[in-house]
Amino acid sequence: MASAQPIPVNPKPFLIDLIDKPVIVKMKWGMEYKGVLIAFDGYMNLSLHNTEEWIDGECRGNIGESLIRCNNVLYVRDAEGVKEV
């Protein structure tokens, strides 16, 4: 029985579809940033507004506008439909 394999996604069209939508950015060190994706560049640096910092499942505060450097990002996902616990 074959296990489900993840489907590779081209990052540029994926990020274009997420502009002006809420996203969750998971960092390599475990923290998450939740905010609205404003823009990204050719290196995949991300610009978010209304950003909240989450560490260990706890909101540590609103940091407003933020710029996240690409080499620190583990993954980016769509946050629409994600419920806060």
Judge whether residue 1 has pLDDT over 70: no
Q: What is the mean pLDDT of residues 29-40?
A: 97
Look at residue 72 and tell me whether its pLDDT is greater than 90: yes
pLDDT surpassing 90 at residue 5: no
Confidence of residue 6 (pLDDT cuts 50, 70, 90): confident
* Mean pLDDT score across all residues of the chain: 91
Q: Give the Cα separation of 70 and 61 in Å (integer).
A: 22
Instruction: Please report the pLDDT score of residue 52 as a whole number.
Output: 98
Distance CA 52, CA 35 (A): 6
Sign of the dihedral through C-alpha 38, 44, 45, 46: positive
What are the E-state strand segments in 1-85?
A: 22-27, 32-40, 46-55, 58-68, 73-78
In percent, how much of the chain has pLDDT > 70?
Answer: 92
At residue 40, does pLDDT exceed 70? yes
Report the distance separating Cα 8 and Cα 24, nearest Å.
19
